[in-house]
Amino acid sequence: MGSRMECSSDESSELSDTDIDDYADKAYTDLKSGKLVARFGADRFRCPFCPGKKKQDYRYNELLQHAIGVGASNRAAKVKANHQALASHLKTDHADAAGSLPPRQAEALINPPKPVQDQELFVWPWMGILANVPVEQTQRGGAIVMQQLAGFKPIRFNAVHSPDGGYTGFAIVRFNKDWIGFKDALGFHNYYKSHHLGKTDWEANKSDKYMFAWLAKEEDYKADDPVGKFLSENGDLKTVAELQQEMSRKTDTLITSLTSQISAKSKYLMELECKCNQMDLALQRAMEDNDSLDQRYNEEMRKMQSTAREHSLKIFHETDQLRKQLDEKENDIKRRSKQLSEIVAQTDMERRKLENERKKE
């Protein structure tokens, strides 16, 4: 909680929008002169404007994202100016650190390549047109062609067919939608152009001995042929400037959204920490109460066990006495039964004897 307050302590000194650029320039000068230090290792950075922030060890791209995010947020003007200056300082004076990033990520931090004319319309997503592609090379998703063009990193191959289903001899390769994909597409275009196998060379002689290729642009998109139809159905016409603005808007929206989410999560984490502290205190008290209960419980258990032992011994003794009494009664019953049997037998003998005597009379 304290680190968050320290990081935003400057927010109390508001700046007007007209002064923010001047303040950003001053902050940039302090960074460039070394008065404020952001880098303290080959790939170790810190935010000089957030000294109380818990995280003090950043990679280049992490600190750049932090600076861009705060600079584009709805924070106080002075805080935004400081972080905008930091972002400029990183891009201008420490761009070498981007070299330690993965190649694609490092290139994405650099400004996108620009064509000769910013208003030139390209087909987007970036697509390359291939002419004179042998029909056998269109099989299996154009695997042979894709292997030949692997250095330009195409991501998909489509053979172009006429309305009646016949193969036209043309094919389209697609590149990634980002600026790296555009760089790959330009490399593809320039490679064939430098070998006199570009669009103008194709239009000049339409030789069927070689495969020609070029980057799809406005003229190709609007052409009234199968290639133009494919391009218009699968892409749009955009200038690089339009794409920069569109991607910048998306990035700003994403950064704003992420900043808002981070702020909400930070608030939630502080509330959670407060609740955890309360729970820790309650748990400590409960444990103390539990210890007291354990002591009373153990004492009660000892008493119960002692009583149970005494009761068990008493029951055992009484049971033994009852068993002895039962044995005695059982023996007495057996003895009486035997006597009764003897009396019955004697009575029978006397009765038979009496009957015999009566018969004799």
Tell me, yes or no, whether 251 lies in a domain: no
Predicted local distance difference test score (pLDDT) of residue 1: 39
pLDDT at residue 10, as a whole number:
41
Task: Point out the domain boundary residue: 206, 234, 262.
Answer: 234
Check whether residue 87 and residue 171 sit in a common domain.
no
**76 shares a domain with 17:** yes
In a domain, 327, yes or no: no
Q: How many domains does the chain have?
A: 2
Q: Which of 71, 86, 74, 68 is nearest to 26 (CA)?
A: 86
Domain of residue 36 covers 2-108
Q: CA of 225: how far to CAs of 158, 199, 359, in Å? A: 16, 16, 148
| 53, 262 Cβ separation under 8 angstroms | no
Q: Do residues 84 and 127 both lie within one domain?
A: no
Predicted pLDDT of residue 171:
95
Does residue 357 form part of some domain?
Answer: no
CATH at 192: 3.30.70.2890
Residue 18 has a pLDDT of 58
Is the CB of residue 138 less than 8 Å from the CB of residue 171? yes
Residues 95, 58 share a domain: yes
Residue 210 lies in a domain: yes
Residue 229 within a domain: yes
**Do residues 157 and 141 lie in contact, with contact meaning Cβ atoms separated by under 8 Å?**
yes
Q: Would residue 47 count as lying in a domain?
A: yes
**Per-residue tens of pLDDT for the chain, all 361 residues:** 333 333 443 443 455 555 778 888 899 999 988 888 888 877 788 899 887 776 677 888 778 877 876 776 667 888 888 988 998 888 888 877 765 444 444 444 444 444 444 578 999 999 999 998 999 988 898 998 999 889 899 999 999 999 998 999 999 999 999 889 999 999 999 999 988 889 998 988 877 778 899 999 999 999 999 999 999 999 999 988 888 888 778 888 888 888 889 888 888 888 898 889 899 888 988 888 888 888 988 999 899 999 889 988 998 898 889 899 989 999 999 999 899 989 988 998 988 888 888 888 7
Q: Is residue 303 part of a domain?
A: no
* Residue 201 domain flag: yes
Q: Mapping DSSP to helix (H, G, I), strand (E, B) and coil, where does residue 127 land?
A: strand
Task: Specify whether 155 is located in the same domain as 69.
Answer: no
Backbone angles phi, psi at 258, to 5 degrees: -65, -40
Instruction: Report the 10 Å Cβ neighbour count for 231.
Output: 24
The contacts of residue 238 (CB under 8 Å, 6+ apart) are: 121, 122, 124, 246
Beta strands at 156-161 and 236-239: parallel, antiparallel or unpaired: unpaired
